[in-house]
């Protein structure tokens, strides 16, 4: 996809991966609408981006509020004229063993990471199908390829994101909408932000090191998914080994391999953003 002149909506765009992606899209010549529930961070981001007039629009949005998403979808089409790219980046994580946290935490995880995608895609996909042009990018996770202790609900939500993305891709093919693309992005633990402090135990941390910054993932979104149409970029690329190993190893061997690589210890040093 040629990005110059395209119009994008990005959720959770005031910081982290979202903000890094906004910077790259603006540099490519896109017009961008950013949504985030953190109004202070949204204002700071809007000022820091120094975008030319008419190239950046920002709105406070809790993506779990269906009515607000519907309202702002209309606003985005009015302000930008169209929406070619939807990047579902807003995410929520609450670390801890499944029984050690209240159900409200897990319900919030699913609402932000999965149900909100239904809301946004439902608003923007029809026009993409009508024009037979567009790209939906959903942020999944390395935890969308394997089960991770201390992240049960989060892993469940990110597996759902991968399945949703792949299903929509085949639906578009069945409808002969070959120019409407769908990509899921699968980052491993990042050094800063939501997963600060988390890392695989030894020797897994040598094979799948911590992602050094958010721009690594923003680059995967813009260069690999949007420009090259890749289905499921993984960062680092070795995240994909889990999928391949699951395919050819007996299940018991695969589980032992994950244990040997220190997967179960990944959240033991987790601090998260602002902790």
Active centre residues (catalytic) = 154
- Return the bridge partners of 183, or none: 137
Evaluate whether residue 58 is within a structural domain: yes
Task: Give the pLDDT confidence of 130-153 residue by residue, as tens digits.
Answer: 999 999 999 999 999 999 999 999
Structural domain harbouring 167: 7-196+209-239
Query: What average pLDDT does the segment 174-183 reach?
Result: 98
Mean pLDDT rounded to a whole number for the chain: 95
Evaluate whether residue 230 is within a structural domain: yes
Evaluate whether residue 255 is within a structural domain: no
Evaluate whether residue 244 is within a structural domain: no
pLDDT band at 274; cut points 50, 70, 90? low
Domain containing residue 118: CATH number: 3.40.50.720
As given in the structure block, the two tokens for residue 274 are 């602002």
DSSP secondary structure string for all residues of the chain:
---TT-EEEEES-SSHHHHHHHHHHHHTT-EEEEEES-HHHHHHHHHHH-PPTTSEEEEE--TT-HHHHHHHHHHHHHHHS---EEEE-------S-GGGS-HHHHHHHHIIIIIHHHHHHHHHHHHHHHHT-EEEEEE--GGGTS--TT-HHHHHHHHHHHHHHHHHHHHHHHTT-TTEEEEEEEE--BSSSTTTT--PPTTHHHHSPPB--HHHHHHIIIIIIIIT--S--EESGGGHHHHHHHHHS-HHHHHHHHHHTTGGGTTTT---TT-
In contact, 129 and 177? CB cutoff 8 Å = yes
- Count of structural domains within the chain: 1
Evaluate whether residue 12 is within a structural domain: yes
As given in the structure block, the two tokens for residue 97 are 């063993």
Q: Compute the distance between CA of residue 266 and CA of residue 202 in angstroms, rounded to an integer.
A: 10
Query: What average pLDDT does the segment 232-259 reach?
Result: 94
Q: What pLDDT is stored for residue 221 in this prediction?
A: 98
Task: Give the pLDDT confidence of 27-49 residue by residue, as tens digits.
Answer: 999 999 999 999 999 999 999 99
Evaluate whether residue 268 is within a structural domain: no
Higher-pLDDT residue of 140 and 200 is 140
pLDDT band at 114; cut points 50, 70, 90? very high
Evaluate whether residue 56 is within a structural domain: yes
Model's pTM, two decimal places? 0.94
Q: What pLDDT is stored for residue 275 in this prediction?
A: 45
Evaluate whether residue 201 is within a structural domain: no
């Amino acid at each position: 996809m040629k990005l110059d002149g395209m119009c994008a909506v990005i959720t959770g765009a005031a910081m982290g991966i979202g903000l890094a992606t906004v910077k790259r899209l603006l540099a490519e010549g896109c017009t961008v609408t950013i949504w985030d529930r953190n109004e202070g961070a949204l204002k700071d981001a809007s000022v820091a981006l120094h975008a030319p007039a008419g190239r950046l629009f920002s709105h406070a949005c809790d993506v779990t509020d269906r009515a607000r998403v519907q309202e702002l979808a209309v606003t985005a089409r009015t302000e930008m004229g169209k929406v070619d790219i939807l990047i579902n980046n807003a995410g929520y994580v609450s670390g801890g063993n499944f029984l050690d946290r209240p159900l409200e935490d897990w319900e919030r995880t699913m609402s932000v990471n999965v149900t909100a995608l239904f809301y946004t895609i439902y608003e923007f996909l029809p026009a993409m199908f009508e024009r037979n042009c567009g790209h939906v990018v959903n942020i999944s996770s390395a935890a969308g390829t394997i089960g991770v202790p201390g992240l049960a609900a989060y892993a469940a939500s990110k597996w759902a994101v991968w399945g949703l993305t792949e299903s929509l891709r085949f639906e578009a093919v069945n409808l002969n909408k070959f120019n409407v693309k769908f990509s899921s992005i699968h980052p491993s633990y990042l050094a800063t932000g939501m997963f600060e402090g988390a890392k695989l135990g030894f020797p897994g941390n040598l094979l799948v090191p911590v992602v050094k910054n958010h721009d690594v993932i923003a680059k995967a979104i813009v260069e690999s998914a949007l420009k090259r149409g890749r289905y499921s970029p993984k960062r680092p690329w070795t995240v994909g080994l889990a999928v391949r190993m699951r395919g050819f190893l007996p299940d018991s061997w695969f589980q032992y391999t994950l244990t040997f690589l220190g997967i179960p210890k990944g959240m033991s040093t987790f601090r998260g953003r602002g902790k």
